[in-house]
Amino acid sequence: MAESSDSVSEPLPISLVAGRYLLFDINVVTYLRRTHHICGTLIGSIPQIPQQNVFLGLPVELMPEEARLLVEKEAAYIVDDFAWHKERFNTFKGADRADYLESLRSEGFKARRAAEATSQNKKKNALAKQAVRKSREEALEGAAMKDPTDGGEAESPFDYDRPDSPAPSTVSISTNKPYAVTPTATYSTSSLPANPAQQPNPDTTSSYHLFAHLHSKDYFVMPGLRFGCDYNVYPGDPLRFHSHFAAVSYEWDEEIPMMDLIGGGRLGTRVKKAFLIGGKDLESKAQDGDRVRTFSIEWGGM
Amino acid sequence: MAPSATTSSPPPPSALSQALMSSTATSDRQGYEHPAYLLHLAQTILHNLQYQHSWTSLQIHTCSSAMLPLPRPMISGLPPKRAYIHPDEQAEIIKAEHEAGTSIEQFAEREWVLPTSIGEKWSLKRFTGVFDALDVVPPTEDVDGEMEGEGEGGSSVGSKWRGANRQKRLLLSTLHDDSTVVYYIMHDGIVKPRQN
């Protein structure tokens, strides 16, 4: 993670895979979160332990609303991975291909260097700890009577999580080889469309108006499944704040049963939120703004 | 059951029935006639506010301040204590109380009440119609010694969130068939929740 999210430049590609909007680059993810208040949802699990779903990683899936908002702000564009793969993979030859392979190689070297630096650090720390322990033992017992390799190594915590080191000869051969990098797309970033504006906007439901309205007021808008609403609305980054609203979008004329308002208001108040309803005002004569009308509902306490 | 079966005369009307019967005669003083069931609904909610929640200075409005008919009869009244304190105002009050070392007395404000019944279906459009027809603070026709704290509240702590400065709001009251009434604070626009 040496390069920060400053290294990304707009417009950013969003991969469309099987109808889902995905981001594979951690720099892009942090950049969108910091600059555009777009968080998305981490959906990547560990291949061998897919049932572990508490801590998920890349890729990040964006709601269609998030993807559309970014496209409309011209901060991003959609790449249909399947179509682009079919179009480009067979013609991926010559200098382009060589460049791409070279970029994979350099990524692999980078990963290798990072891994080696980490293991070097580990080794250094372990040796330092061992030295401290040994000197303490010597101080306690006076003259050291033990074999130094015996006590030190058996207690090292790093013996448990690592298999035995390979023989020295194999290590010296493999140092020159890059780590294998699994690319997330079958095309190189340099071959992405030159004119991204031609892509159609992502399809969204009518709740997009409410989403865009809340987003324009600097709220962080997350999926609302947890509270049975369309959106969970945070006043700042969800890692730092509790959400303020459970928001549900309605059409201007859509009938809202009273029970839904009472249920939403009661649930929202119980979890220290307000129940927010809103939608596009079809009769507003205002020329400026997005003409979204909202109401906040809380329990009256009586 | 047995004694009443012998007499053919109906039981005497309840307090609420009496209130409903007397209200239909007086409610059209503002000149606009809403359907009777809406007036009765408002009257039932008013009755609940008056006798269960100890509200005072209650009145039913059928017209807006611009003398246009309201979408339905609205109630305004004075709760026994403040019905709503904005979280930022609360924070300011606590800060001021901490600095002064004394507690700051809070006065109730007049509130709008929108009567609805549980079987109804509303929409954003209809809520907009109600909110747009209302003033921020309900008008007071008869000033019979109401203490609204307006007089000395001009520059007091938290006045940014009181009186005409407050965000337009109403109490959404919903009547169930078993005569239970529930009340929800409804704000016009995005208003952050209270830290209750």
Candidates A234, A244, A250, A280; catalytic one: A234
Query: pLDDT class for A156, splitting at 50, 70, 90?
Result: low
Task: Please give the average per-residue pLDDT across A270-279, as a whole number.
Answer: 92
For residue A206, CA distances in Å to A108, A188, A218, A223, A225 come to 45, 35, 20, 15, 18
Give the SS3 label for residue A222: strand
Window from A132-146, B21-35, B110-124 with minimum mean pLDDT: B21-35
Is B146 a residue whose pLDDT tops 50? no
Query: pLDDT class for B152, splitting at 50, 70, 90?
Result: very low
In chain A, residues with a C-beta closer than 8 Å to the C-beta of B117 are: 258
pLDDT value at residue A152 = 46
pLDDT value at residue A62 = 92
pLDDT value at residue B114 = 94
Q: What residue segments make up the domains of chain A, in order of their start?
A: 205-302
Is A164 a residue whose pLDDT tops 50? yes
Mean pLDDT for chain A overall: 81
Window from A1-15, B31-45, B52-66, B154-168 with minimum mean pLDDT: A1-15
Q: Is A244 on the interface with B (CB under 8 A)?
A: yes
Task: Give me A169's structure tokens.
Answer: 């000869």
Task: Please give the average per-residue pLDDT across A287-299, as a whole number.
Answer: 87
Identify the CA nearest to B133 among candidates B67, B39, B34. B67
- C-alpha A24/C-alpha B51 separation (Å) is 62
Of residues B124, B186, B193, nearest to A279 (C-beta): B124
Please check whether residue B115 is in contact with residue B72, taking contact to mean a CB–CB distance below 8 angstroms. yes
Query: pLDDT class for B147, splitting at 50, 70, 90?
Result: very low
Task: Please give the average per-residue pLDDT across B43-66, as a whole number.
Answer: 90
Is A254 a residue whose pLDDT tops 90? yes
pLDDT value at residue B28 = 46
Unique residue bearing structure tokens 């409804």: B186
Please check whether residue B103 is in contact with residue B97, taking contact to mean a CB–CB distance below 8 angstroms. yes
Q: Which residue has the higher pLDDT, A84 or B110?
A: B110
Is A274 a residue whose pLDDT tops 70? yes
pLDDT value at residue A264 = 93
In chain B, residues with a C-beta closer than 8 Å to the C-beta of A273 are: 193
What are the φ and ψ backbone dihedral angles of A295, each rounded to 5 degrees? -135, 140
| Candidates B51, B113, B124, partner chain A, best to mutate (most A CBs within 10 A) | B124
Window from A77-86, A191-200, A291-300, B106-115 with minimum mean pLDDT: A191-200
pLDDT value at residue A53 = 74
How many secondary structure helices (H) and strands (E) does chain B include? 5, 6
pLDDT value at residue B32 = 65
- C-alpha A68/C-alpha A223 separation (Å) is 15
CA distance A221 to chain B (A): 14
Q: What is the DSSP letter of A300?
A: -
Percent of chain A with pLDDT over 90: 35
Window from A45-49, A93-97, B37-41 with minimum mean pLDDT: A93-97
Is B133 a residue whose pLDDT tops 80? yes
**In 10 A of CB A167, how many CB atoms?**
8
- C-alpha A91/C-alpha A100 separation (Å) is 13
Query: pLDDT class for A121, splitting at 50, 70, 90?
Result: very high
| Candidates B190, B191, B196, partner chain A, best to mutate (most A CBs within 10 A) | B190
Is A177 a residue whose pLDDT tops 60? yes
Side chain identity at residue B85, one-letter code:
I
Burial pattern A222-233, b for ≥16 Cβ within 10 A else e, equals bbbeebebbbbb
**DSSP structure string for B126-137:** HHHHHHHHS-SS
Diameter over CA atoms, chain A = 92
Q: Which tens digits make up the pLDDT trace of A182-239?
A: 777 666 666 666 555 566 677 788 889 999 999 999 999 999 888 989 999 999 999 9
What are the φ and ψ backbone dihedral angles of A198, each rounded to 5 degrees? -75, -20
| Burial grade of A258 (CB within 10 A; 0-12, 13-18, 19 or more) | buried
Q: Is A242 a catalytic residue?
A: yes
Q: Is A268 on the interface with B (CB under 8 A)?
A: yes
Is A3 a residue whose pLDDT tops 70? no
**In 10 A of CB B117, how many CB atoms?**
17
Please give the sequence-ordered ranges of beta strands (E in DSSP) within A237-273, or none if there are none: 245-249, 256-257
Which residues have C-beta within 8 Å of that of residue A245, sequence separation ≥ 6?
A214, A219, A231, A232, A233, A268, A273, A274, A275, A276, A296, B190, B192, B193
Q: Is B119 on the interface with A (CB under 8 A)?
A: yes
Task: Please give the average per-residue pLDDT across B15-32, as a whole number.
Answer: 63
Q: Is B190 on the interface with A (CB under 8 A)?
A: yes
Identify the CA nearest to A231 among candidates A260, A195, A268, A285. A268
CATH number of A205-302: 3.40.1350.10
Q: Is A85 a catalytic residue?
A: no
Which residues have C-beta within 8 Å of that of residue A295, sequence separation ≥ 6?
A276, A277, A278, B124, B127, B131, B186, B187, B188, B189
Mean pLDDT for chain B overall: 82
Q: Which tens digits make up the pLDDT trace of A14-39?
A: 888 888 999 988 888 999 999 999 99
ipTM field: 0.82
- C-alpha A157/C-alpha A153 separation (Å) is 9
Q: Is A86 a catalytic residue?
A: no
Is B24 a residue whose pLDDT tops 60? no
Unique residue bearing structure tokens 């493999």: A174
Task: Please give the average per-residue pLDDT across A251-274, as a whole number.
Answer: 93
